Structure 1
Amino acid sequence: MIIETNNSTYSKSSSMAFAVVTSLLEIVEKQLLQPNSSLVLYSREMVVSLSKKLCFLQAFLEEFGAKTYNSEANRESLEAEILDVAIEAESKVESELGEVYVVANRGDCVVSACQKLHQTLQQVVKDFEGIEVKILMEKKNTNSLVIGSSPESSAQTYLTGSVGSITGNNTLEPENSGIVGFSKDIKKITYRLIRLPSVKRDVLTLVGLGGIGKTTLANMVYTYPSVSSYFRIRAWTVVSKEHNVKEMLVCLLGCIVPMTSEISNKDEAQLAGQLRKSLMGHRYLIVLDDVWTTAAWDAIRGCFPDNSNGSRILLTTRFTEVAVYTSGYIHAMKVQTQDDSWKLFSRKVFGLKQSVPQEYKSLGKRIIDGCYGLPLAIVAMAGLLATVKGSIEIWRDVAESLYAMDSADNRISRILSLSYNYLPTHLKACLLYFGVFREDSDIPVKKLISLWVAEGFLKSKKKYKSMEKLAESYLHDLINRSLVQANELSIDGKIKSCKVHDRLHEFCMREAKKENFLSVINENHAQEACRWISFQSRNWPITRASYENYTFHKIRSIIYSGNNDLYISKCRLVYPHLKLLRVLDLSLVKYSHNMPSGIADLIHLRYLALNTIGSLYKFRLFKLQNLQTLAICSWMEGYPLQLPFGILDLQQLRHLHLERKSSQCLPSLVRGNVLTLYWLRVGSLYEKPNFRVVPNLKELGIYVEGEMTPSCLESLVHLRRLEKLKFDMGRVERFYLPSGFPPNIKKLTFRYTFLPWEEMSIIGQLPNLEVLKLKDFAFCG
């Protein structure tokens, strides 16, 4: 699909073709060209040739996505053909490769299965040869395409900015840095909150268009020093379009008391009672962000007692009728003035200290006029234009595009579309992937990165030592472009969680659905078989009956992103209909039947997250040869899971997250892929761990169970890349510090270790330590 805006032509779907080609290239390079005892390759040269053709297509699609001028109309059909052929090739190759793995797991001869795979690869090479010829003919006819084998094409460099691409930049601005134009609003709101004589519980509402800055203003008031010191209790929750009362209650309680599984497992009535009791007698400030309906307010208003002490509730909403219904004081948000708009825009693009070149100033003024004074639109445009400060042509084109837009509400959608169109091709699928999560979700960065890696979005670059580092650079790029928000930072300033604005979330869902890549399954939407399934209903959606008219081979990911109060006693994965599944994230589902049947047969699975109870000891994990991330926990406190041994022997495993008492022992052979291990069990009943078998570990949690010897952890010193280390204790009389620590430790956590204070001097000598956490009797005294 091509969208024309004045003089420019943008490829909206080249991102999807690029994502599929990149995914297939990863399969070829990681599974076909790497040593594998299951595979008999009859022609390695043919596989190498396929790899080169896919690299050629990658370069073309990057050039195609970056080419914003003089694009020929027939390139649309060429790109669509690449997408169709790549999807078909990916499915065929993975299907035949899967058959090889199945036969190998049975212990049978793999020759016949490998022959079929070889024939499929031959046909795939022919298909891509045909496309390659068409591309070269296009190049010859137009004399405008520049396609090379280097990772960065000239047009892509031009699009992302000629003076230092943003990609890889780890310098992030604080979320509210550069925000202007709210000083008067803050003064008015803080007066109503803390200086108004009224002692009765009062409700204030901020109302205005989506993207006008309601949440930003509410957050600035919420964290304002005089406000934070005035209220004994402050709590914040996001309500969203599809409000969930229990989730709101849990979120508010989490701001007041330490969250435990006991609290999260309570029902709505119990949670409401506990919240009301926690607020009784205290002066509190409650923020209910993004309220869509009066029903959402009615469902929770009874939890907020009137203590006659000046407690306040602050709401934000787009809808005047909600504001009138809920509030005694309505603050109507106004758009930014032209001066404030220019300050916000110029700071984001050129920085505080840089002067704006004259040739860009007049264009910049036209651009902010086209943003209608909406901060979301202004920062989105600034995020785009900060990357193309060397291209006056793109500035002119953006100014002309904005001038042609109509209403303010539609303007936001068009501006977000414009920002997306100008994104580098490799970032587009990563951005659209935010659509699989629920609106206003707080997304853990480590989880997001693991999902991006599992989906095969990342184009390998030699300068990055790991795919995780490359994915992190992608995320930082999107944040610096003001498309993704850094939501929570760790103590050392790294991003722990992120989110996208609800207007951008709407855009991501709409575009991904338009490309037939995303299906959102809930009570209001029919089921479709797309590449990504966002499962939000209360019934298990993948059954033969529900999908009898659809082709299952399209589905690569099933992610449950609904509320975390869903219990499923039993579900079947209707294998082999989901045999190409890569991602299965049921971490928010409370499953009560050990392991969903059929998982062991999902041999292409790369990411598996479960929340279950029961024994998994007989689960045949060894069949999941492509598993990269495994996260399994028990949702019932006091019932640790029984897991099979040898999980760390999975060859592709990179991240393992288990509960402390369900922890694992080290692998029998060297596993250089393992980067994260929570938790490793050590103690007298287990062999002394040899950490040389996991030489590239970056994060490690050690759970000590049973008596330990003074030399138990002596081989820790060999983990030269380890940056984060946690110790926790079970029933142990004494904990011994290791004789030597890994040299690059940055974060160190102790819990229940009862160390004497004099041993703090040993920790104080660690040269790179940045964060030290002492929890629950870490030291004596």
Structure 2
Amino acid sequence: MAEAVVSFLVERLANLLVGEVKLWCGLSGQLEDLCTELKRMQRFLRDADARQDEGEMIQAHLAMIREVAYDAADIIDTFAFKIASQKNSNLRKSLKRHSCVFKELVEFHQLGSELEAIKSKISSFTLSFHQYGMKSIDEQEVSDGTYKRQPELRRSYSHIEEDVVGFEEDIKKLVEELVDEKKTCPLVAICGMGGLGKTTIAKKVYHNVNVRHHFDRFAWVYVSRQCQVTNVLRGMSYKLISFSDVGRDQILKLTNEELVKEIYQIMQKKKCLVILDAIWSVEAWNRLSPAFPLRNGRSKILITSRVQEVAKRADPGVLIHEARSLDEEQSWQLFQKKAFPQRDEPELHVHTNIVELGKKMLRRCAGLPLAITVLGGLLAKKHSLHEWELVNENLNLYLRRGKSYDEFSEVSKVLALSYQELPYRLKPCFLYLSHFPDDSDIPTRKLIQMWMADGIVSEDAITEEVEDIAETYLYELIDRCMVQVAKVGSTGRVKVCRLHDLMRELCLLNAKRENFFEVIHQQNESMSVEYTSSSTPPVLAANGRIRRLALSVDRKDSKFVLPSLTRTEACSHLWILLYSQVRRFIVKDRQLKHVFNNFKLLRVLDLQGMESPVPLKLPKDIENLIHLRFLSFRNVSVVTLELPSSIGNLKFLQTLDLSKNSLAVVPNVIWKIEGLRNLYLPRCCYNFTNKMQLGNLRNLQILVNFPAEMSPVMDLLKLTNLRKLELSDPRCFDEVGKSFKTSGTTLSRLQSLSLKNTHQGFTKEISLTELLLGCPHIHKLHVECKLMNLPTPNQFPPSISKLSLEDSELEEDPMPILGKLPNLNILCLIRRAYLGNEMVCSGRGFPQLKSLVLNHLDNLKEWKMDIGAMPCLSRLEISDCDKLMFLPRELEFATCLQQLEIKYMPFQFKKKFDRGGEEFHIIQHVCQVVL
């Protein structure tokens, strides 16, 4: 980690030195000298980082280096800000005044003194490496500060549908237990240590075709160690309670007692399967169990837990299935899938010595699927016998350093080695995941934006965008099986990822050791610091400074912000401040003023989920956060959020997120933040001049809710680097299209276009043709407004892979046109997208379609489909199409169809597809069926 911080500094300095920087007072030479010293240090740090487990002295030495490097980063960023301020203001003119000249000379002299002190410390640290026997490793990867990424990364992501080896009998027994109505005990438990595959087994059971046909309704909820009862109950309610009975908004208003009553009643009336994943304590079960009619006999509950006592105390007659480790043969089968992903028959193509060495290392995993998967992911990047031998040698050294030699200790070391073996570029990326709550979904776009803001990802990309480089970092962690994929988008990009709980413990442990992140968790009236399962207090750096802080809130508490930050001295050097809340938290402007005035080095400030009982006007002191790169007020519960004009002084800001808010006052200063890359505006925003210029934001890549009422459309055409654009005012759609046509300009880099109608009174039909001509390379198109008609197939960009139509009110069958789009993967026709009563898919239509959603097509009576249509269809969802009588019989020959969901349809329609129903033969080959 010290290596990663120093590498970041080298790149930061290099950028300053090659840029247009008119340095003062001889600082150019000092910066060059500091850069030279840092490069010298780099050659030793790779060896030192790898050997820090050998003794506390080395660890302490690295900790001091890391903190000095952080201090240098603060100084350099302050200097960079001054340079940026000079370039973007009339400061040069004001320098003619003698007082300003004197002030600048004093400031730069002070900077020079600070740089000289840092350089001296780094020089002494570098010399001291010899005392510890550290070697200078002059590798290209270290010396030039670049990271050699693999040219091709696996994109199949088998992690979503986990590889199952050795669990087949377990799954079969559990399925039989759940569907056997003679069994009186409603509770089944899968127990065992972390990493044994409990969740994987539960998922396979949950999606089993027999289980899907047996039960009426299903709910999967993750409980977690903290057990947020309200969230768990709501999660079950959303899945079990039909929205025709209780609306989603109504569920949000229900108290815990009311939620318990609703769940209890539905589980009595219907055959329900509820899976409680990762329930840790008897107390958690006792708080949830009133929702379950345990003597009903119709509904069943399946729990996964590391603690058998939870299951035994829940019900004396519980069936406990003990998850077991894999035997040698099963371990090897799973290992091959991960270590040799590109080979169908690994042993026929792999050197015999590699096979023997792999089996030898595999014994260290003790049959634990997670450890096998991680080891395989680590070795998948090694392509020679020599590289495998080095991993084996490092593994042996790592194990010998351990204090105990039991099986789990060895397994822990296998997982730990996966972190130790990470390239230095990936270590901070992995540790950054430590602030996300246990088993939470991690939105990858936000994660990448935070990485960039923190300086984790290189800023000097020439041939690639920084976002693309960051994405390859994420894919590398996924390919090493250290991060799991939770959701993949229509273009194959990972949209959501997550950490296995054991990998999260590893992440927290190393974040603690590296003083990388401090996570403070508040529950009830107390606060605790979370780093390991025992929540041991963090060991701060020698100078007691905290650089990254995540505050996790479990309850509404207006006193939360200030007490959590009482150690202002320790927090004054904060780079990152996040609120990883579970519940909303109340904040007042004076508390924000405290943050703005005391944490002036902040790079990331995430206040997502905060709320205020009164309109909230942000203090002008936000301009003190001159280093800020990421600022989020996403989904805040505030009547009005007013930004001050001083926000235009945040020269380094890359991401400003105000989305999912009801109303915001945004002054016409955003155009000053020329480096802005991501701008998320609320659907309703205004300012007192009714003017907002955005044409100056040439680096902008994401623009959500373009403010058409306040900003000229021609500004939009200047944003040629846009990748994602969301327009929410339908009154401007035609104007944008005409502007494309008259100017001849296209947004050639745009990949995602969304057209949403937020004006309920607007009923005018719009044309898509001119809009699409200006966006020739989009992959995703979402249209949520009334259309004149569909463009012809050749007027659609051929790159479109996902298309959503909502409220389009098309009168002609859209399928003949849409079926000719060559790369369409996902099609969603939602809520009056089509008003006709017949829909026909021709024999060669939709050659690449994998997912089809038909929702709320009120008039649709008949859906016809020729044999050969949709040959790749794997997922079909039909809901709220009340007049639809049948599914096409040709679906019986749709051999790729794996998942079918029929929701909120008339009882008679669903009855046809029950086992024994007249249309059951059409869907009997489908693995996952939800009725």
Q: Deviations over 1:433-476 (max 9, x none)?
A: 11111111111111111111111111356465211111111110
Contact 2:233 2:259 in 1 (8 A): yes
Equivalent residue in structure 2 for 1:326, among 314, 318, 332:
314
Contact 2:273 2:300 in 1 (8 A): yes
What are the residue-to-residue correspondences of 1:244-323 with 2, within 5 Å? 244-255=228-239, 263-264=251-252, 266-276=254-264, 279=267, 281-305=269-293, 308=296, 310-323=298-311
Q: Given the superposition, is the C-alpha separation of residues 260 and 59 from structure 1 closer, same or farther in structure 2, using an over 3 Å criterion?
A: farther
What are the residue-to-residue correspondences of 1:41-60 with 2, within 5 Å? 41-43=24-26, 45-46=28-29, 49=32, 52-53=35-36, 56=39, 59-60=42-43
Q: Given the superposition, is the C-alpha separation of residues 142 and 506 from structure 1 closer, same or farther in structure 2, using an over 3 Å criterion?
A: closer
Distance in 2 between residues matched to 1:521 and 1:34, nearest whole Å: 40
What are the residue-to-residue correspondences of 1:88-127 with 2, within 5 Å? 88-95=71-78, 111=101, 112-113=103-104, 115-117=106-108, 119-121=110-112, 123-124=114-115, 127=118
Residue 470 of structure 2 corresponds to 471
Q: Which runs of 5+ in 1 are unaligned?
A: 1-14
- For the pair 1:770 / 2:796, whether they are aligned, the reply is no
Q: Given the superposition, is the C-alpha separation of residues 294 and 548 from structure 1 closer, same or farther in structure 2, using an over 3 Å criterion?
A: closer
- Count of aligned residue pairs for this structure pair: 750
Select between 597-606 and 236-245 the one with higher mean Cα deviation: 597-606
Equivalent residue in structure 1 for 2:602, among 566, 576, 581:
581
Distance in 1 between residues matched to 2:14 and 2:5, nearest whole Å: 14
Distance in 2 between residues matched to 1:573 and 1:136, nearest whole Å: 44
Q: Deviations over 1:39-80 (max 9, x none)?
A: 864557437626843772685367436867999999767644
Contact 2:730 2:756 in 1 (8 A): no
Cα offset for 1:427?
Answer: 0.7
Equivalent residue in structure 1 for 2:165, among 180, 186, 205:
180
Q: Given the superposition, is the C-alpha separation of residues 271 and 677 from structure 1 closer, same or farther in structure 2, using an over 3 Å criterion?
A: farther
Residue 369 of structure 2 corresponds to 375
Contact 2:219 2:239 in 1 (8 A): yes
Cα offset for 1:323?
Answer: 1.6
Residue 787 of structure 2 corresponds to 755
- For the pair 1:20 / 2:14, whether they are aligned, the reply is no
Residue 582 of structure 2 corresponds to 563
Select between 237-246 and 319-328 the one with higher mean Cα deviation: 319-328
Contact 1:690 1:715 in 2 (8 A): no
Equivalent residue in structure 2 for 1:236, among 200, 220, 239:
220
- For the pair 1:458 / 2:470, whether they are aligned, the reply is no
Residue 429 of structure 1 corresponds to 428
Distance in 1 between residues matched to 2:31 and 2:622, nearest whole Å: 32
Contact 2:48 2:58 in 1 (8 A): no
3-state SS of the aligned residue for 2:656? strand
Q: Given the superposition, is the C-alpha separation of residues 314 and 402 from structure 1 closer, same or farther in structure 2, using an over 3 Å criterion?
A: farther
Contact 1:201 1:311 in 2 (8 A): no
Q: Deviations over 1:520-572 (max 9, x none)?
A: 22234269751111101455555489535733332111111131343335533
Larger CA Rg, structure 1 vs 2: 2
Identity of aligned residues (%): 25
- For the pair 1:86 / 2:60, whether they are aligned, the reply is no
- For the pair 1:742 / 2:771, whether they are aligned, the reply is no
Residue 608 of structure 1 corresponds to 631
Q: Given the superposition, is the C-alpha separation of residues 745 and 288 from structure 1 closer, same or farther in structure 2, using an over 3 Å criterion?
A: same
Residue 572 of structure 1 corresponds to 592
Cα offset for 1:292?
Answer: 0.5
Contact 1:234 1:255 in 2 (8 A): yes
Q: Which amino acid aligns with 2:679?
A: L
Distance in 2 between residues matched to 1:206 and 1:223, nearest whole Å: 16
Distance in 2 between residues matched to 1:495 and 1:343, nearest whole Å: 26
Q: Given the superposition, is the C-alpha separation of residues 456 and 677 from structure 1 closer, same or farther in structure 2, using an over 3 Å criterion?
A: same
- For the pair 1:719 / 2:713, whether they are aligned, the reply is no
- Over the aligned positions, Cα root-mean-square deviation in angstroms equals 3.8
Contact 1:29 1:51 in 2 (8 A): no
Q: Deviations over 1:242-264 (max 9, x none)?
A: 11011212333344568966644
Q: Given the superposition, is the C-alpha separation of residues 237 and 62 from structure 1 closer, same or farther in structure 2, using an over 3 Å criterion?
A: farther
Cα offset for 1:192?
Answer: 1.0
Select between 357-366 and 277-286 the one with higher mean Cα deviation: 277-286
What are the residue-to-residue correspondences of 1:474-485 with 2, within 5 Å? 474-485=473-484
3-state SS of the aligned residue for 1:554? coil
Residue 680 of structure 1 corresponds to 706
Contact 1:63 1:153 in 2 (8 A): no
Give the TM-score normalised by structure 1. Answer: 0.85
Q: Deviations over 1:346-395 (max 9, x none)?
A: 22112333224221233222222211111111111112222224224324
Residue 205 of structure 2 corresponds to 221
Equivalent residue in structure 2 for 1:622, among 625, 648, 668:
648
Distance in 1 between residues matched to 2:58 and 2:528, nearest whole Å: 34
Equivalent residue in structure 2 for 1:590, among 585, 589, 611:
611
3-state SS of the aligned residue for 1:184? helix
Q: Which runs of 5+ in 2 are unaligned?
A: 530-536, 812-834, 836-931
Give the TM-score normalised by structure 2. Answer: 0.73
Select between 115-124 and 441-450 the one with higher mean Cα deviation: 115-124
Select between 712-721 and 105-114 the one with higher mean Cα deviation: 105-114
Q: Deviations over 1:643-675 (max 9, x none)?
A: 333435421211112332238987454322111
Distance in 1 between residues matched to 2:53 and 2:435, nearest whole Å: 34
Q: Which amino acid aligns with 2:548?
A: W
Q: Which amino acid aligns with 1:587?
A: Q
Distance in 1 between residues matched to 2:53 and 2:228, nearest whole Å: 49
Q: Deviations over 1:324-353 (max 9, x none)?
A: 122521111111111101111122112333
Residue 875 of structure 2 corresponds to none
3-state SS of the aligned residue for 2:665? coil
Select between 203-212 and 639-648 the one with higher mean Cα deviation: 639-648
Q: Deviations over 1:598-657 (max 9, x none)?
A: 43432221111111423344523212222111112456xxx4333333435421211112
What are the residue-to-residue correspondences of 1:480-519 with 2, within 5 Å? 480-519=479-518
Q: Given the superposition, is the C-alpha separation of residues 31 and 220 from structure 1 closer, same or farther in structure 2, using an over 3 Å criterion?
A: farther
Select between 376-385 and 86-95 the one with higher mean Cα deviation: 86-95
Q: Which amino acid aligns with 2:787?
A: L
3-state SS of the aligned residue for 1:370? helix
Distance in 2 between residues matched to 1:778 and 1:605, nearest whole Å: 45
Cα offset for 1:183?
Answer: 0.5
Cα offset for 1:579?
Answer: 0.6
Distance in 2 between residues matched to 1:569 and 1:555, nearest whole Å: 21
3-state SS of the aligned residue for 1:551? helix
- For the pair 1:354 / 2:346, whether they are aligned, the reply is yes
Cα offset for 1:231?
Answer: 2.6
- For the pair 1:533 / 2:527, whether they are aligned, the reply is no
Residue 8 of structure 1 corresponds to none
Contact 2:185 2:297 in 1 (8 A): yes
- For the pair 1:652 / 2:675, whether they are aligned, the reply is yes
Q: Given the superposition, is the C-alpha separation of residues 241 and 147 from structure 1 closer, same or farther in structure 2, using an over 3 Å criterion?
A: same
Cα offset for 1:710?
Answer: 5.4
Cα offset for 1:174?
Answer: 1.5
Residue 206 of structure 1 corresponds to 190
- For the pair 1:190 / 2:175, whether they are aligned, the reply is yes
Cα offset for 1:421?
Answer: 0.9
Residue 394 of structure 1 corresponds to 390
